[in-house]
Amino acid sequence: MTERVVFVFLDGVGLGPGGADNPFSALNLPAFEQLAGGQRWTAEAAPVREARHVFVPIDATLGVDGLPQSGTGQSALFTGEDAVRLHGRHFGPYPPTAVRPTVAARSVFARLVAGGVAPDRLAFANAYPDRFFDAVEARGRWTTTTLAAHSAGVRLRRAADLARGEALPADLTGETWARLLDPDHEPTTEAEAARRLARLARRHAFTLSEYFLTDKAGHSRDPDRAAAVLRSLDRFFDTLLGALGPADLLVVTSDHGNLEDLGTKTHTRHPVPLVAWGDGAGAFADARSLLDVTPRVVALLAGGAA
């Protein structure tokens, strides 16, 4: 039985055709390849559907024209409800007004709580700086994941948690935090970030980690920036895979394509990868779209009660 789920959310990662504009096919990324059954993360990769390992493409367009965006895409991913239809079109980066009540009431956090998992068994690992909370207070600038966690009674982590090694900075190493927010903050390695996430996960049933530099790198169209981000993530996954226990399940997925096509600075309509690795992975073998992830996480950890 799956005892805990570690959910690593990557913003803006699709499965696109291999080629010169696709950093996933151009770079050697051993941990990414391991997560895809020894293949590069491209549209040509064969799906993997095994009891303890799934790697499948899932639809991020939800059948609606236009380019998928983070507000509606993440809302769909983290609730299992069709946020694109609720709003009428793709929208981002923040969840649109019509979708916010659904994110608050039906997120993976809220549904796990409704299914009997106590809020203190749920964790959102990212550290948010004070300026994020200022923007929330001044302009209601909730992101999908922060709104989801906060509404379900899951604490948002801050600078003090980061200083104690009980939260992850947005870039994993903390270099950006030190440069922009706090010169006294000591950056660490991706390996230490992965061990930190694994330690947090051990104390919780469900632990979410969010990474958005993938989307930023995609918008930049800069191959060097894309390579730096992907190599950093590869180091992180390499350690994380070794730190998981036999009853753990790692889920990795995204909200829309972007980084896999540096030929355009916009998002793409490509499917996104869904990786399930470890105990209970087989439950994700038939996932088809963003809507199919949260219900399976809830079923594994709360018996589908919610």
Binding site for Zn ion (CB under 5 A): 215
Q: Angle, to 10 degrees, between the axis of helix 213-220 and the axis of helix 223-243?
A: 160
Pairing state of beta strands 206-211 and 4-10?
parallel
CB of 218 to Zn ion, least distance (A): 7
**Whole-number Å distance between alpha carbons of 148 and 106:** 8
- CA–CA distances in Å: residue 248 to residues 127, 129, 140: 23, 29, 35
Instruction: Find, among 107, 139, 133, 138, the residue nearest to 122 by Cα.
Output: 107
CB of 201 to Zn ion, least distance (A): 27
Based on CB atoms, which residue is closest to Zn ion, 86 or 217?
Answer: 217
CB of 51 to Zn ion, least distance (A): 34
Based on CB atoms, which residue is closest to Zn ion, 161 or 215?
Answer: 215
CB of 122 to Zn ion, least distance (A): 26
Based on CB atoms, which residue is closest to Zn ion, 215 or 234?
Answer: 215
| Cα-Cα-Cα-Cα dihedral sign, residues 123, 124, 127, 128 | negative
Cβ neighbours for 258, distance < 8 A, ≥ 6 positions apart? 11, 12, 13, 14, 214, 215, 218, 219, 266, 267, 268
CB of 15 to Zn ion, least distance (A): 17
CB of 231 to Zn ion, least distance (A): 21
| Cα-Cα-Cα-Cα dihedral sign, residues 34, 37, 39, 42 | negative
Based on CB atoms, which residue is closest to Zn ion, 117 or 229?
Answer: 229
- One-letter amino acid at 120 equals D
Based on CB atoms, which residue is closest to Zn ion, 106 or 256?
Answer: 256
**Whole-number Å distance between alpha carbons of 97 and 102:** 10
Based on CB atoms, which residue is closest to Zn ion, 25 or 69?
Answer: 69
CB of 11 to Zn ion, least distance (A): 7
Q: Token digits for 181?
A: 């927010």
Residue in the shown chain whose Cβ atom is closest to Zn ion? 215
Q: Angle, to 10 degrees, between the axis of helix 190-202 and the axis of helix 223-243?
A: 40
- One-letter amino acid at 9 equals F
The single-letter DSSP state of residue 281 is: G
Q: Token digits for 202?
A: 């051990």
Based on CB atoms, which residue is closest to Zn ion, 66 or 116?
Answer: 66
